[in-house]
Chain A
Amino acid sequence: MMPSLRLSGQRALWAMAGVAIIGVVLPLLLRSDFWLNFAIMVLFFTVLGQAWNILGGYGGQFSFGHAAFFGTGAYVTAVLQVKFGINPWLGFVLAGIGGGLVGAAIGFLSFRYGLRGSYFALVTLAFAEVLRILANAAAFTGGGVGTLIPLKQTAANFQFVDKTGFYFVIFALMLIGLLLAYWLENSRFGARLMAIRENEDAARALGVNAFAIKLGAISLSGALAGLAGAFYAQYFLYLDPRLAYGPGISVEALLVPIIGGMGTIFGPLLGATVLHVVGEIARKVMGDAVGLNLALYGMVLVAMVLFLPNGIAGLARRQRLKPKEERL
């Protein structure tokens, strides 16, 4: 079964062009720093979710440990900068490489031993925890005290005085994520990856090197999550092991694409937008009553799963492809 809304080929490219134009114009329209920050956070979680989507959505490999890649990217940028004075723009690139390498390492071990489904999910969770514990014990990460990146607001230093600078960085990253997803949908690599998702044994029988393909996917996914981590580090300038490697990030990373629509180009963008809007509305509705806003958020989450089993992207499809779906 092909999951959810599939904007393919030409249509997807047009949609991406639309997103690109809206994205470029948006900061000119948003006169408010609050909404600009809101947009930045939505895009940030979109990138993180897209990273998860590459592996989980297109490859069917559910990770509970994307914090492992995210945190590595964040620490690479921060530590290289603080300890070795390496420019954060270079650190940004290295963060992507670092995230990719951690992805490859974890992928190598777990795919080598044929872990699938929830076993794979739990092993990624365990790796993230191992990294958290190590980051907490190591001296060069600052241990539990954490790493603080000195405040020096110049664009050359990847710290923008104006939030618009951060916006365009994360927006560009988001576009790269979209292009990656588009590429997956239109390349041999992507086709093989999706074949593995549908039926790994069948794909193998057809001569797909499942190990290599999955390894490629997790490295790509890790690299994108690592870039998101580097962005986080530069935007907030402070990291500790729990922020970087804690389970919170891993959960956010999977929430966004599953809600939006797994294995779709725009699923993560939809998911991150809807989740943040819901979060904001819950705050408005519940006012200052402690905890009720998050409870409402959780209820909306449950309701979405009850009524939108294929994510938000699936909603659009259901209307359009109703007759076809019956056949499934």
Chain B
Amino acid sequence: MTERNRSRGIGRRQLLAAGSTAALVAGVGGFPAILKAQAPAIKVGILHPVTGPLAYSGTQARAGATMAIEAINAAGGIKSMGGAKLEAVLGDAQSKPDVGAAEVEKMNEAGVSAIIGPFASGIALATTQAAAKHNIPHIVDVGVVDQVVTRGLANTFRFGPGLAKVVDTAIANLVALNAASATKAKTVMIVHEESAFGSGMAKTLNEQLPQKGFEILETISHPNPTRDFDNIALKIKARKPDLIIPSNYYGEFVLLARTLRQQKVEAKAIYSILGGAASNFRFVNEFEDAAQYIIDCNHWVDPRKPEAAALRKKVEDQKLFFTYEVFLNHECVRLLADALERGKSSKREDITAALTSSSWAGHMMPYGPTKFVNGQNEGAAPVNTQIIGKDIKVIFPAAFADAKPVFPMPARG
């Protein structure tokens, strides 16, 4: 069983990597030694929307998760379990909740110990529910909508922050930014995509920003896809807000940023929240000029931690962009590995118990040790980044910022 699974699932690369060691062992101790050394592989469901409209994020997420699995296996697997290897069972939710739920059923029968995924909130609602029926621990990688963890499903763990936390942090940092600067931003325009995360964010902002003394001039919701942002730029130009707060998917964000630049729209800051491209190196590389000084409140790594830089290099060596989908999934796999290491068991209920009591501090996120309360990692928080030159710098929280915020941003002429 073990041998069969290993050779089928782990893939050629893994076998090659293990090959040299195996040959050595075989040479010294003979064939039976390998069998003894080989603990059963632990199957992990890696479930993302790698086709359909969310394919980009899904692919990035899958890359992050599989890289982590390869790294853990290469480093000797789960040591407390006799060096047991992780085996990825890949799933494609096709950007649809019903397909995501069907994939969970398939993974259940494939005998996965846990599931990591599935990027989008709408899919996460379906997959966590399906996984709960089989008591499969389900680590949610992104899925920011708050209801993902507030439904009382004991199997659901969200490593990253939820929408409420993101918006709270964004507002707090905005207030801090204002306080530290001579020029104060007061008026705001929000440009958000119309699906769950953009609308949810706009709703919360509309409730909270006025309490902090900001005046919302207008909230513009736009569909996905939006083909043209000229009119939105016109409106912004006419209303002259101090702050532009965008929240959109990648394609729309790029179009918006380009149009703002083209129409020479000036503001004190473009302060995006979960901006689709604002902390994406592809955007920075391709449109350095339009991207300059855009601030984003988003998932990001702790720049002080060497693992973060190492992972970024590894990702870029594979000709991929270092985006939040990659590192969040990478760290979700390591979170699971930590739970396995401590629980010494690949049984679903043991993993759930180990995750519930998790206090893992070895990650590259700016979170502190993990602590799950009703499935939400309480320490999780976004950070503020700003595009400065060709790099994405952390500007908040001050404790580990690697650049000073440029605010207000200089006129771009």
Verify that A and B bind, or say they do not: yes
Interface residues of A (CB under 8 A from B): 32-34, 37-38, 41, 136, 143-146, 148, 150-151, 161, 163, 232, 236-238, 240, 242-243, 248, 283, 288, 290-291, 293-294
Residues of B within 8 A of A161 (CB): 133
Considering the chains assembled together, what is the distance between the CA atoms of A240 and B199 in angstroms?
A: 12
Whether the Cβ atoms of A236 and B101 lie closer than 8 Å is yes
Whether the Cβ atoms of B196 and A240 lie closer than 8 Å is yes
With beta carbons under 8 angstroms apart, the residue of B92, B105, B122 that contacts A37 is: B105
Kindly state whether residue B178 has any CB partner on chain A within 8 Å: no
Whether the Cβ atoms of B108 and A242 lie closer than 8 Å is no
Residues of A within 8 A of B94 (CB): 294
Residues of B within 8 A of A290 (CB): 50-51, 55, 59, 92
Residues of B within 8 A of A283 (CB): 92
Residues of B within 8 A of A38 (CB): 102, 105
With beta carbons under 8 angstroms apart, the residue of A34, A242, A293 that contacts B195 is: A242
Residues of A within 8 A of B109 (CB): 32-34
Residues of B within 8 A of A248 (CB): 96
* Given A37-B101, A41-B102, A144-B200, 18 other A-B residues pairs in contact with their CB atoms under 8 A: A34-B106, A34-B109, A38-B102, A143-B194, A144-B195, A144-B196, A145-B145, A145-B200, A150-B151, A151-B152, A236-B129, A237-B126, A240-B196, A248-B96, A290-B50, A290-B55, A290-B92, A291-B50
Kindly state whether residue B134 has any CB partner on chain A within 8 Å: yes
B interface residue count range (under 10 / 10 to 19 / 20 to 34 / 35 or more):
35 or more
With beta carbons under 8 angstroms apart, the residue of A41, A146, A151 that contacts B122 is: A146
Residues of A within 8 A of B199 (CB): 143-145
Kindly state whether residue B164 has any CB partner on chain A within 8 Å: no
Chain B residues 195-236 with CB under 8 Å of chain A are 195-196, 198-200, 203, 221, 223
Residues of A within 8 A of B39 (CB): none
Query: Would you give 19 A-B contacts (Cβ < 8 Å), ordered by A?
Result: A34-B102, A34-B106, A37-B102, A37-B105, A41-B98, A136-B221, A136-B223, A143-B194, A143-B199, A144-B193, A144-B196, A145-B145, A145-B196, A232-B98, A236-B125, A236-B126, A237-B129, A288-B90, A290-B50
How many whole Å from A286's CB to the nearest CB in chain B?
10
Considering the chains assembled together, what is the distance between the CA atoms of A308 and B98 in angstroms?
A: 29
Whether the Cβ atoms of B97 and A238 lie closer than 8 Å is yes
How many whole Å from A279's CB to the nearest CB in chain B?
9
SS class of chain A's interface: helix, strand, loop or mixed?
Answer: helix
Chain B residues 101-135 with CB under 8 Å of chain A are 101-102, 105-106, 108-109, 122, 125-126, 129, 133-134
Whether the Cβ atoms of A144 and B97 lie closer than 8 Å is no
Considering the chains assembled together, what is the distance between the CA atoms of A145 and B199 in angstroms?
A: 6
Chain A residue at smallest Cβ distance from B59: A290
With beta carbons under 8 angstroms apart, the residue of B108, B125, B203 that contacts A237 is: B125
Whether the Cβ atoms of A34 and B108 lie closer than 8 Å is yes
How many whole Å from A154's CB to the nearest CB in chain B?
15
Chain B residues 30-60 with CB under 8 Å of chain A are 50-51, 55, 59
Kindly state whether residue B21 has any CB partner on chain A within 8 Å: no
How many whole Å from B155's CB to the nearest CB in chain A?
12
Given contacts A33-B134, A41-B102, A294-B51, contact A236 B195 (CB under 8 A): no
How many whole Å from B364's CB to the nearest CB in chain A?
26
Whether the Cβ atoms of B105 and A33 lie closer than 8 Å is yes
Chain B residue at smallest Cβ distance from A276: B102
With beta carbons under 8 angstroms apart, the residue of A144, A238, A291 that contacts B194 is: A144
Residues of B within 8 A of A163 (CB): 133
How many whole Å from A289's CB to the nearest CB in chain B?
10
Chain B residue at smallest Cβ distance from A291: B51
How many whole Å from A170's CB to the nearest CB in chain B?
13
With beta carbons under 8 angstroms apart, the residue of B55, B126, B203 that contacts A145 is: B203
How many whole Å from B124's CB to the nearest CB in chain A?
9
Chain A residue at smallest Cβ distance from B145: A145
Chain A residue at smallest Cβ distance from B195: A144
How many whole Å from B150's CB to the nearest CB in chain A?
10
Residues of A within 8 A of B102 (CB): 34, 37-38, 41
Residues of B within 8 A of A237 (CB): 125-126, 129
Considering the chains assembled together, what is the distance between the CA atoms of A232 and B98 in angstroms?
A: 9
Chain B residues 45-94 with CB under 8 Å of chain A are 50-51, 55, 59, 90, 92, 94
Whether the Cβ atoms of A240 and B122 lie closer than 8 Å is yes
Kindly state whether residue B147 has any CB partner on chain A within 8 Å: yes
Considering the chains assembled together, what is the distance between the CA atoms of A283 and B90 in angstroms?
A: 11
Considering the chains assembled together, what is the distance between the CA atoms of A290 and B98 in angstroms?
A: 18
With beta carbons under 8 angstroms apart, the residue of B50, B108, B134, B196 that contacts A146 is: B196
How many whole Å from B154's CB to the nearest CB in chain A?
12
Chain B residue at smallest Cβ distance from A292: B51
